[in-house]
Amino acid sequence: MAHSATKRSDITLSNCGYSKVLDIISSKWAALVIYAMENGKIRYGQMLRRVEGISKKMLTQTVRKLERDGLVQRHITPTVPVSVEYSLTALGESLLQPMKTLRQWGRDNYTQVVEARVKYDFVGTPDSVPTSPITSS
């Protein structure tokens, strides 16, 4: 580190690329909605059914934000009952790979995280039981 470097904080929200990405896809449904589009155009109602548990409000809100961020395109076909299809833009598709990398990490390691939590909560909770817990016999 430089000599008198009074500049202490070198890690900031504003220049962190990861935080910027979170700004785009940290919402609860964003990733799921993107996955629903990874094979090409898909209709609104289709997504509503494919993404388990999402409500119309959240689907619309999520897809709108993604559209605003330039990751998603809307295609409107003015048939009798309107038909609206969504698809990823080139920018949106470019995000798929990095996301998959993280997703793979999650698949590979989430059980370890869950185990760590159980362990942490186990040693953390004791309010009683100073005696050995499982080793009953």
Partner DNA sequence: CGGGATCCGGCACGATACTG
Partner DNA sequence: CAGTATCGTGCCGGATCCCG
Which residues make up the interface to a copy of itself (CB under 8 A)? Answer: 8-13, 16-22, 24, 26, 28, 31-32, 35-36, 49-53, 67-71, 91, 94-95, 97-99, 101-107, 109-110, 112-113, 115-117, 119-121
Please give the radius of gyration of the chain, using alpha carbons only, rounded to the nearest integer.
23
Residues with Cβ within 8 Å of residue 27, at least 6 apart in sequence: 62, 65
The residue among 45 and 70 lying less far from DNA, judged by its C-beta, is 45
Tokens of 18: 């990861």
- CA neighbor of 66 nearest in space, from 27, 19, 13, 17: 27
Binding region for DNA (CB under 7 A) out of 2-10, 37-45, 98-106, 115-123: 37-45
Tokens of 40: 């090409």
The residue among 64 and 100 lying less far from DNA, judged by its C-beta, is 64
Q: How far is the CB of 105 from a copy of itself (least distance, A)?
A: 4
Alpha-carbon distance of 86 to 43, in angstroms, equals: 6
Of DNA, a copy of itself, none, which one does residue 69 interact with (CB within 5 to 8 Å by kind)? a copy of itself
With CB under 7 A as the contact rule, the residue among 3, 8, 57, 107 that binds DNA is: 57
Match 């395109």 to its residue by tokens. Answer: 73
Q: Which of residues 82-121 bind DNA (CB under 7 A)?
A: 82-85
- CA neighbor of 97 nearest in space, from 44, 34, 47: 34
Q: Which residues bind DNA (CB under 7 A)?
A: 27-29, 43-46, 53-58, 60, 63-64, 74, 81-85
